[in-house]
Amino acid sequence: MNLIFVVCAYLLGSISFSVIMSRVFALPDPRTYGSHNPGATNVLRSGNKWAAILTLLGDAAKGWLAVWVAQHFEPQDGNSLLVAAVALAVFLGHLFPVFLRFKGGKGVATAFGVLLALNVWLGLAVSATWILVALVFRLSSLAALLAAVGAPIYAITLDLPSEYVLTLVGISLLLIWRHKSNIQNLLAGKERRIVKKGGNHSE
């Protein structure tokens, strides 16, 4: 039964809402323009804000749903390991989707959904970190990186199960790895900033 939960979580994570929304709104495949990343920020480059918003919500919702199901349909005693495994599986599904030949997005929205399901305060703390960094530096990639670093630290502060903390360390490292090109641009001072009206985004 536990293996079924994990496999289903991975398959759920493999659903690409950027590709789905692009088809619904008759937009180009997000893998063919911009950063070629199948994610909400790249969909936004198409100029269709609703498609980007729905992509963001869908990617976050699948992360939340997978963890919520594991939490509520398994015995509460000793299921922290299963929940942690499901959280990692749905995130890996987004990064390496079987339906897109294992070439997925960066995982920020899906990770956020996972965090909210694991613990609401954890999700809010990470969100606050992202918002604060984004407002101060106007760099969404830097905000995502610092939020990723903060996630396991907040989990420890909230005294969450060690299984959750280890999973969050893994998710954070994968997020950082997926942002390697952004890190290079940040170090070179070439990363694009968030602008108030219009303009390009960094992810």
Within 13 Å and on the Cβ side, how many CA atoms surround 18? 32
CB 110 within 8 A of CB 91: yes
pLDDT tens for 111-134 read: 999 999 999 999 999 999 999 999
**In sequence order, what are the residues at sequence separation of 6 or more whose Cβ sits closer than 8 angstroms to the Cβ of residue 123?**
112, 115, 116, 117
Residue 199 has pLDDT above 50, yes or no: no
Both structure tokens of 179: 């942002």
Residue 88 has pLDDT above 50, yes or no: yes
How confident is the model at residue 198, as a pLDDT?
A: 45
How confident is the model at residue 23, as a pLDDT?
A: 96
**In sequence order, what are the residues at sequence separation of 6 or more whose Cβ sits closer than 8 angstroms to the Cβ of residue 17?**
54, 55, 57, 58, 59, 62
pLDDT tens for 146-197 read: 999 999 999 999 999 999 999 999 999 999 999 999 999 999 988 888 765 4
Grouping H, G, I as helix, E, B as strand and the rest as coil, residue 35 is coil
Residue type at 135 in one-letter notation: L
Residue 1 has pLDDT above 80, yes or no: no
CA-angle at 182, arms to 88 and 35, nearest 5°: 85
How confident is the model at residue 200, as a pLDDT?
A: 43
How confident is the model at residue 79, as a pLDDT?
A: 77
How confident is the model at residue 34, as a pLDDT?
A: 83
Token pair 């407002």 in the structure block, residue: 135
**In sequence order, what are the residues at sequence separation of 6 or more whose Cβ sits closer than 8 angstroms to the Cβ of residue 9?**
66, 70, 86, 87, 89, 90, 93
Residue 6 has pLDDT above 70, yes or no: yes
Model confidence pTM above 0.95 = no
pLDDT tens for 48-82 read: 999 999 999 999 999 999 999 999 886 665 579 99
